[in-house]
Amino acid sequence: MQPPQPLRGIIPPLVTPLRDRDTLDTAGLERLVEHLISGGVSGLFILGTTGEGPSLSYRLRRELVQLACKFANNRVPVLTGITDTSFTESVNLARHAADCGATHVVTSAPYYFPAAPPEMLEYVQDLVAEMPLPLFLYNMPGLTKVSFELDLVRRALDMPGICGVKDSSCDMIYFHRLIEVARQRADWSVLVGPEELTAEAVLLGGHGGINGGANLHPRLYVDMYHAAAAQDLQRTRELHAQVMSLAGAIYTVGRHKSAIIKGIKCALSLTGVCEDHMAEPFHRFREPERGLMRERLMAIGLLA
């Protein structure tokens, strides 16, 4: 395995465009990939939380990986989520991703049976040994109920197959500790999930964001990253305020946690990028939520 190049910038976690609960919106996926690459993103992350990865059939996941890599056509790195309750299925999907041309794989802690720290370390060691691609650890304790503890991350420094961490814990103390750890490996990337924290994270040493709202307005997030990386505080503040406005508009239409993904998908549907069906157990916004989303997009200038 070649040493991975460190990733920097905005790497959107793609929604998975669906025509129904188990049928990919292929044309919508191609439009979405083009929309993001033309917006200047540094990579694409498929089958993450925003992509409803754990809710998709194994057949559809493999189809998505193959088509996303085809549409990206080696223009940007493609990161593939392999999180699963089954170790073997994670390995199988990683190998499929490598065959399709993906550049990295990403795993959060296996869910349902919560693993203790010693078990998590063994899991990561065993997984890395099977990986055909560089592996990102994805810290998402709000959904998996298990965190990649800092001691495990320090141990991961000695595992050449691991190339960094994506943190969606919303714990900035933890995030800053990750940055301290990552300084020991120049080839590592520490990326933040919540877009509301991306400007702060990059200003203080983080390497970029895997931000859901970038599906809709990639250039805004890319510009904010570059301003923060350049330590342009005034410009960063201005763009961060716009990101907060966008997030406030699209993430608060619904009342439940699923509203974030529904909101992004609904906005993409209204702007003509892709279909907004959801994988079960969720369903897309209906009227009047769709009408409210339309009003909010018009108010922030993303819809005429």
Residue 261 lies in a domain: no
Q: Concatenated DSSP letters for 151-189?
A: HHHHHHTT-TTEEEEEE-S--HHHHHHHHHHHTT-TT-E
pTM: 0.96
Residue 1 lies in a domain: no
Per-residue pLDDT tens for 47-63? 999 999 999 999 999 99
C-beta neighbour count of 240 within 10 angstroms: 20
Residue 116 lies in a domain: yes
Residue 104 lies in a domain: yes
Residue 58 lies in a domain: yes
Is 285 in contact with 262 (CB distance < 8 Å)? Answer: yes
191 forms bridges with which residues in the sheet? 166, 208
How far apart, in Å, are the Cα atoms of 189 and each of 158, 166, 302? Answer: 15, 8, 31
Residue 252 lies in a domain: no
- What residue ranges of the chain have pLDDT lower than 50? 1
Quote the domain boundaries for residue 107: 9-217
Residue 59 lies in a domain: yes
Q: How many domains are contained in the chain?
A: 1
Is 168 in contact with 138 (CB distance < 8 Å)? Answer: yes
Residue 1 is predicted with a pLDDT of 45
Enumerate the active-site residues.
138, 166
How far does CA 98 lie from the centroid of its chain? 18
Report the sign of the C-alpha dihedral through residues 165, 171, 174, 178, in that order.
positive
Check which CATH number belongs to the domain holding 187 and give it. Answer: 3.20.20.70
Residue 83 lies in a domain: yes
Per-residue pLDDT tens for 100-153? 999 999 999 999 999 999 999 999 999 999 999 999 999 999 999 999 999 999
Is 277 in contact with 268 (CB distance < 8 Å)? Answer: no
